[in-house]
Structure 1
Amino acid sequence: MPVRPHMLFLPCLMGDARLWADQTRDLADLVTPEVPVYRRLESLAAMAAGVLAEAPAKFILCGLSLGGYTAFEIMRQAPERVQALALFNTSAQPDDEERTAQRLVLLKRLGETDIATISGMALDFLVHPSRLEDRELCSAIVAMAERVGPDNFVDQQRVIMGRPDSRPDLGRIRCPTLIVAGEEDAITPPEVHLEMARLIDNARIELIPDCGHMSAMERPAEVSALLRSWLLSAVLPTRVA
């Protein structure tokens, strides 16, 4: 019986293992899933190095939002260890001045309120408008933020604001790559995913309708199905152990 490859699922800002709970369950027959904890938050390079230090020798890499930014840095540091790459709701572009200013406003507000309030305010941008009344989904997102905590939120935001432009590095990616966007993602819209797909050779791109930024939680069945199809068609048949 073939050994199941390791697959790292990298969380988003204010995210933890709950972000990928459906996928780690649904794909456990194909891969050995792991959800790293971000431990070194002084920079994106340090954060990626921390993930690599605890990761197996080779692995499939999957990241959403901040997880995608971290995945780009892992590809810079250790591309030979990555067997395949899946990028969800992310961007290879750095923050512009407007986005940085928005993050600084959130950090200022955190000093005036709590992390649950901040994450609740962010829901308008995180999920599709039709899901704002979905109490189970929204409560799960806020609960993740509370578990991550305000200190990690601040450190993660600083890491994100300081991240480099990853677009010049995308042409060097040689492993099978899947790119997935929510059609109504207000944070990383489809056009930034289309840009990545143009810059990565033979990347497969998929758009999920009626979906915002938190695709793994908003549309868990669709995300699991896309990953399963990609793994079976493009990754596992060609994987080198």
Structure 2
Amino acid sequence: MNNSQNLPLVMLPGFLCDPRLWGDVLANLPPGDDIILIDFKHCKSLQDMVGQLEKLETSRFHLVGFSMGAYIAKIFATKFPERVASLTLVATNVGALSEREQTSRSKLAGMLANVQYKGMNEKEAQRFIHSSSAQNPHVVQTIVEMSRSYTSEMYIAQMRATLHREDLSAEIAKLSFPVLIVAGKDDHVVRLPTLQHLHEVVARSKILILDQCGHYVPLEKAKELSVAIHEFVNSGGA
């Protein structure tokens, strides 16, 4: 048994998400695992987000991040590699958000300075997932309900904190903990070639590509993701 097996699993949600993102994944993990769910909803800055991890009492843990949460995980892992037993990056952006995405988010943030954010509707949520997932009310409603739990102030703070992202691939490649990269084959937010390139840069990494899966991997392919995380953590990344 490797000495990292009994460490906690710390799970980070994405933009406009909260711990509900991981509900189906947790339901498929073996009972008894030590899970810590992070919520960035009330963070005011990037440092606040990283600080959520810094202040954890456990000195070392397995880190799992989805999308924006994976970016926060990468920042923490490069700052405090001695605290990271393994790193799982799910649908992670590599480097800066596209100009289109930055413009879209900035424009909406400007509008929200004067009106209250009301979250995504079902049609908007379906843009981010595979067509088969769009027929699953649970997946769609979870995305909608998570987004609707955000106020304008929360949206703006989270958007501004993570709008300008650095490419940390080279820094991650220099470190020693195992890395698992999980990609939705049909993700239109984070394109598959981007994550395949990350896998090539981080030579010690493993990559899992999930068919018929869009961006919201933890909701669309919960069982497959839970199996992959469990096997990865308990094999020491081998």
**Band of TM-score, shorter chain:** 0.7 to 0.9
Following the alignment from structure 1 to structure 2, what is the Cα–Cα distance between the partners of residues 149 and 51? 23
Q: Any conservation in 2 of the 1:212–1:218 contact (CA below 8 Å)?
A: yes
Match of 1:136 in 2: 138
Q: Aligned runs of 1:164-179 on 2, under 5 Å?
A: 164-179=166-181
- Given candidates 35, 58, 61, the residue that maps to 2:60 is 58
> Cα 1:33–1:53, aligned 2, differ >3 Å: closer, same or farther?
same
Q: Does 1:10 align with 2:12?
A: yes
Are 2:123 and 1:114 aligned? no
d(CA) in 2 for partners of 1:159, 1:170 = 21
The CA deviation at 1:77 is 1.7
Q: Distance in 1 between matches of 2:42 and 2:146?
A: 19
For residues 171 and 48 of structure 2, what CA distance do their matches in structure 1 show?
18
Trace 1:1-241 onto structure 2 (pairs within 5 A): 4-29=6-31, 31-38=33-40, 41-110=43-112, 111=114, 114-116=117-119, 118=120, 120=122, 122-235=124-237
1:55–1:99: structure 2 CA closer, same or farther, 3 Å change rule?
A: farther
Relative to its length, the structure with more helix (as a share) is 1
| CA separation of 1:12 and 1:140: change in aligned 2, threshold 3 A | same
Q: In the aligned structure 2, how far is the partner of 1:127 from the partner of 1:112? A: 27
After TM superposition, give the deviation of residue 76 of structure 1 in Å: 2.0
Please give the alpha-carbon distance, in whole angstroms, between the structure 2 residues aligned to 1:41 and 1:146: 17
Q: Which residue identity lines up with residue 81 of structure 1 in the other structure? A: R
Moved more, 221-230 or 120-129: 120-129
The separation in 2 between residues aligned to 1:45 and 1:208, in whole angstroms, is 32
CA distance in 2, matches of 1:172, 1:125: 36
Deviation at 1:201, TM superposition (A): 2.6
Structure 1's 182 and 112: CA in aligned 2 closer, same or farther, altered over 3 A?
Answer: same
Deviation at 1:119, TM superposition (A): 5.4
Contact (CA 8 Å) 1:125, 1:213: kept in 2 or not?
Answer: no
List per-residue Cα deviations over 1:87-132 (Å, max 9, x = no partner).
000122112322211212332454556322x354541432112322
- The structure showing larger relative contact order (alpha-carbon pairs under 8 Å, at least 6 residues apart) is 2
Q: Secondary structure at the match of 1:80?
A: helix
- Percent identity among equivalent residues? 23
Asked if the contact 2:62/2:233 (under 8 Å) is kept, the reply is no
Which runs of 5 or more structure 2 residues have no equivalent in the other structure? none
Shift of 1:51: 2.2
Counterpart-to-counterpart distance in 2, 1:138 and 1:40: 24
Scaled by the length of structure 1, what TM-score is found? Answer: 0.87
- Distance verdict in 2 for CA 1:216–1:151, change over 3 Å: same
Aligned residues: CA RMSD: 2.4
Separation in 2, partners of 1:65, 1:121: 20
Which runs of 5 or more structure 1 residues have no equivalent in the other structure?
none
- Alpha-carbon separation, structure 1, partners of 2:88 and 2:44: 25
2:132 aligned partner, one-letter code: S
Aligned AA for 1:114? Y
Distance in 2, matches of 1:60 and 1:71, equals 10
Amino acid aligned to 1:151 = E
CA distance in 1, matches of 2:33, 2:57: 14
